[in-house]
């Protein structure tokens, strides 16, 4: 029997699960982002620090993200649109889940690709029709996976990833978001 190696330390994750069952306060994470308006609808957002396991934490490096609107919205296209960032998070979260579940089930992955499409009727955000919502009408993710497994096993991997995905939950279920002026 060959050893499956998808690069996920499943042992550490299973130990964390057990440890956090007895220490719920350590499981409370706070993720943070700071953004600055540049000009027009262009902003820059920085991410590095977060809180978790009972203390302040830091990513190895700071990440910087540009967001803007495209030229067809009379803007400068200095970065992707804000709503496209949701698709990045969704693709990345489900892909990370596929790798983790595959490792746990002893399935060797060779390649995992995801295509995500979000349908968006922009009459909502423009205020052109009050019956049209502002966000996506719906989102579709299509995986192409090459792995040492049957189609059925691959479909089960994807289903389990979806079941444990933070971003899938955040998009398919409501979250309270409060917005304040300091």
Q: Token pair for residue 75?
A: 């803007």
By beta-carbon proximity to its own copies, the closer residue of 20 and 105 is: 20
Q: Are strands 55-67 and 42-52 parallel, antiparallel or unpaired?
A: antiparallel
CB 40, min distance to its own copies, A = 3
For residues 143 and 74, what is the distance between their CA atoms, to the nearest angstrom?
A: 34
CB 1, min distance to its own copies, A = 22
CB 100, min distance to its own copies, A = 6
CB 38, min distance to its own copies, A = 8
By beta-carbon proximity to its own copies, the closer residue of 1 and 134 is: 134
For residues 107 and 157, what is the distance between their CA atoms, to the nearest angstrom?
A: 9
Confirm if 102 and 109 have CB atoms less than 8 A apart.
yes
What is the C-alpha end-to-end distance of the chain, expressed in Å?
A: 60
CB 106, min distance to its own copies, A = 16
By beta-carbon proximity to its own copies, the closer residue of 1 and 144 is: 144
By beta-carbon proximity to its own copies, the closer residue of 1 and 127 is: 127
By beta-carbon proximity to its own copies, the closer residue of 1 and 12 is: 12
Question: 124: burial class by Cβ within 10 Å (0-12, 13-18, 19+)?
Answer: middle
């Amino acid at each position: 029997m060959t050893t499956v190696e998808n690069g996920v330390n499943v042992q550490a994750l299973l130990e964390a699960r057990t440890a956090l069952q007895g220490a719920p306060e350590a499981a409370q994470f706070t993720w943070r982002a700071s953004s600055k308006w540049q000009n027009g609808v262009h902003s820059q957002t920085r991410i590095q620090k977060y809180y978790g396991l009972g203390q302040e934490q830091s990513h190895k490096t700071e990440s910087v993200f540009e967001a803007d609107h495209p030229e067809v919205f009379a803007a400068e296209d200095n970065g992707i649109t804000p709503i496209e960032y949701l698709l990045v998070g969704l693709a990345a979260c489900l892909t990370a889940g596929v790798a983790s579940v595959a490792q746990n089930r002893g399935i060797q992955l060779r390649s995992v690709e995801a295509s995500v499409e979000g349908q968006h009727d922009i009459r909502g955000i423009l205020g052109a029709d009050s019956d049209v919502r502002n966000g996506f009408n719906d989102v579709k993710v299509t995986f192409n996976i090459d792995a040492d497994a049957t189609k059925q096993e691959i479909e089960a991997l994807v289903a389990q990833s979806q079941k444990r995905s933070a971003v899938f939950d955040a998009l398919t279920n409501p979250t309270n978001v409060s917005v304040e002026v300091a």
